[in-house]
Amino acid sequence: MDYTISVTELSKFLYNSGDLTNEFFVNKRSLEGQLAHLHLQEQYNSDSEREIRVSRMVSFGNDNLTITGIMDGLLRIDNELIIEEIKSTKLHLDEITLDYHTEYSAQLKIYGYIYMTNNDLRTVKLRLTYITVPDNKTKSIYLDDTYTDLEEFFFDSIEKYISWLVNLKEASDNKIQSIKDMVFPFPEKRAGQRDLMAATYHTMSHSEILYAIAPTGIGK
């Protein structure tokens, strides 16, 4: 079986942090975040790139997991190569450290490993840059991980995610098996139950959505 997950989704799934404040939801997908990203990327020199697609496939058992993503920036400055991950924020920059939202640094580490491995590199700088909205002030934090550190982090992350996939598949298989052995628990069906069952079966068979309005006790 083939699985696919983005670097962002993987990082959030494994390393999500922070609290449920408005700040947590200010991100690249918001209009303010998009404009802040664009403002910073437009300052890149002509040798630098932005929005670089990367991917890496890992096999486990008879299955494959593909990790995909889009790096915000690949900067070439004074013969140095820098992978940049940009995050917009409304927080005061003095309050931000490397440990602020650990999923962000995890995302950058995974990007770093994939890009370095795919391009046969062993030395690239990793830079996490926060930009405030709406005034576009910035703070950059450099990660000091070596290629070996990134490789270890990548495969440790993949191992954790694959373990979850395996457990999820086992639960799904057990659910399907248990459903096969299920029987209707009452001697007779109430009015409307047969119609609800038929509608549910049709909906599941065609991967559709069923909206059911029915009285209490019918088995919704």
Please give the Cα distance from 99 to 111 (Å, whole number). Answer: 18
Confidence of residue 5 (pLDDT cuts 50, 70, 90): very high
Task: State yes or no: pLDDT of 173 exceeds 80.
Answer: no
Give pLDDT tens digits for 85-109. 999 998 899 999 888 899 999 999 9
Q: Which of 9-18, 26-35, 61-70 has the lowest mean pLDDT?
A: 26-35
Residue range 102-117: mean pLDDT, rounded: 97
Q: Is the pLDDT of residue 22 over 50?
A: no
pLDDT of residue 62: 87
Tell me the C-alpha distance between 185 and 6, whole Å. 43
Least confident of 24-28, 107-111, 174-178: 24-28
The confidence score (pLDDT) of residue 31 equals: 81
Query: What three-state secondary structure class fits 91?
Result: coil
Please tell me the pTM assigned to this model. 0.79
pLDDT at 18 over 70: no
**Alpha-carbon gap, residue 118 to 112, rounded angstroms:** 10
pLDDT band with cut points at 50, 70 and 90 for residue 201: confident
Question: Do residues 13 and 37 make contact, with C-beta atoms less than 8 angstroms apart?
Answer: no
